[in-house]
């Protein structure tokens, strides 16, 4: 995780477009300015960032399904549950599965595990739109490569 | 049409917390009921699930933007119900 860049995903571990699911890995940094405020003397991964990690994981699935031609944006989060504390240094496995692909939107069930134990889960709705500009489309390609996703990989998933 | 309308009216009432008796076939989802685009995503999801279809929201939005259709054609509930019936019939054809 690079919290300061809002990059919550380290790498894509598994992508299965036939089953319409994805699994990603992310390690909570051992130190971050975020933990200076959340909380002083008791550093905890903020729940909102865990939700963002689930949204980004879900987003990579939708990006791959759309062959990098469309961009997912977070629209809503339902039934979000933070089941236990997530501490600096934890290695997280983040999974998401498509529940429904609508016209211009997608609904996914996502969950985060640490050592096999579920730490949080939510239902995520993403708007799926044309890229608003070429710059973002290009940056998303770079970011995708960083987490191990290329258009070629998406085609073969 | 009536049962389709009843289903979508119930979905709207539950999703948007709008009194069921204020929702009529003549109601315009946006102009009369004040449903915004985010709430309409939830409604679309519930309609898609209930009828086993995929409401072509993007196509409809584009047609309205291009001046080829009015919002009344898709978002007045009796018309929305008719569009849903068409989609269900097309699915079974």
CA–CA distance, A35 with A85 (Å, rounded to integer): 13
pLDDT in tens, A15-34: 999 999 999 999 999 999 99
CATH code of the domain occupying B2-92: 1.10.1200.10
Average pLDDT over residues A65-80: 96
Chain A residues close to B49, C-beta within 8 Å: 100
Question: Domain total for chain A?
Answer: 1
pLDDT in tens, B21-77: 999 999 999 999 999 989 999 999 999 999 999 999 999 999 999 999 999 999 999
Catalytic choice (A38, A70, A113, A127): A38
Chain A residues close to B61, C-beta within 8 Å: 104
Residue A75 domain-assigned (yes or no): yes
Question: In chain B, what are the domain boundaries?
Answer: 2-92
**Contact across the interface for A75 and B48, Cβ inside 8 Å:** no
Q: What angle do CA A92, A97, A98 make, to 5 degrees?
A: 145
- Residue that is written with structure tokens 């894509």 in the block: A12
pTM of the model: 0.93
CB of B14 less than 8 A from some CB of A: no
Containing structural domain, residue A54: 3-136
Chain A residues close to B54, C-beta within 8 Å: 101-103
Q: What is the pLDDT of residue B2?
A: 58
Question: What number of H helices and E strands is found in chain B?
Answer: 5, 0
| Preferred mutation among B41, B44, B48, B87 to probe A, highest tally of A CBs within 10 A | B41
Task: Give me the count of residues in chain A.
Answer: 157
pLDDT(B1) > 50? no
Find out whether A83 and A120 touch, Cβ atoms under 8 Å.
Answer: yes
Residue A142 domain-assigned (yes or no): no
**Contact across the interface for B41 and A100, Cβ inside 8 Å:** no
The side-by-side arrangement of strands in the sheet containing A91-101 is: A11-16, A21-27, A91-101, A105-114, A117-130, A70-82
Share of chain A above pLDDT 90, in %: 93
Q: What is the pLDDT of residue B66?
A: 96
Average pLDDT over residues A35-58: 96
Active site residue A38: yes
CB of B63 less than 8 A from some CB of A: no
Residue bearing the bigger pLDDT, A156 or B82: B82
Q: What is the pLDDT of residue B92?
A: 78
**Contact across the interface for B57 and A100, Cβ inside 8 Å:** no
**Contact across the interface for A125 and B41, Cβ inside 8 Å:** yes
Domain harbouring A15, CATH code: 3.10.129.10
CA–CA distance, A32 with A34 (Å, rounded to integer): 5
Runs of H (alpha helix) within B17-76? 37-51, 57-65, 71-75
């Amino acid at each position: 995780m690079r919290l300061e860049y809002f990059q919550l995903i380290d790498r894509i571990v598994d992508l299965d477009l036939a089953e319409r699911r994805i699994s990603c890995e992310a390690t909570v940094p051992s130190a971050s300015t975020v933990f200076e405020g959340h909380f002083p003397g008791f550093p905890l991964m903020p729940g909102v960032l865990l939700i963002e990690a689930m949204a980004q994981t879900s987003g990579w699935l939708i990006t791959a399904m759309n062959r990098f031609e469309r961009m997912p944006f977070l629209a809503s989060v339902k039934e979000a549950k933070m089941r236990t504390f997530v501490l600096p240094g934890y290695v997280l496995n983040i999974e998401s599965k498509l529940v429904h692909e609508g016209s211009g939107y997608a609904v996914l069930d996502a969950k985060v595990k640490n050592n096999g134990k579920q730490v949080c889960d939510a239902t995520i709705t993403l708007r799926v739109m044309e890229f608003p500009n070429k710059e973002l489309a290009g940056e998303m390609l770079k970011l995708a490569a960083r987490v191990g996703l290329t258009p070629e990989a998406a085609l073969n998933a | 049409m009536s049962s389709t309308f009843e289903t979508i009216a119930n979905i709207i009432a539950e999703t948007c917390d709008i009194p069921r008796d204020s929702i009529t076939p003549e109601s315009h989802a946006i102009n009369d009921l004040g449903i915004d685009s985010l709430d309409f995503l939830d409604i679309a999801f519930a309609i898609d699930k209930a009828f086993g279809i995929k409401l072509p929201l993007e196509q409809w939005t584009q047609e309205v933007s291009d001046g080829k259709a009015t919002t009344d054609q898709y978002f007045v509930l009796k018309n929305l119900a008719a569009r849903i019936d068409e989609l269900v019939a097309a699915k079974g054809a």
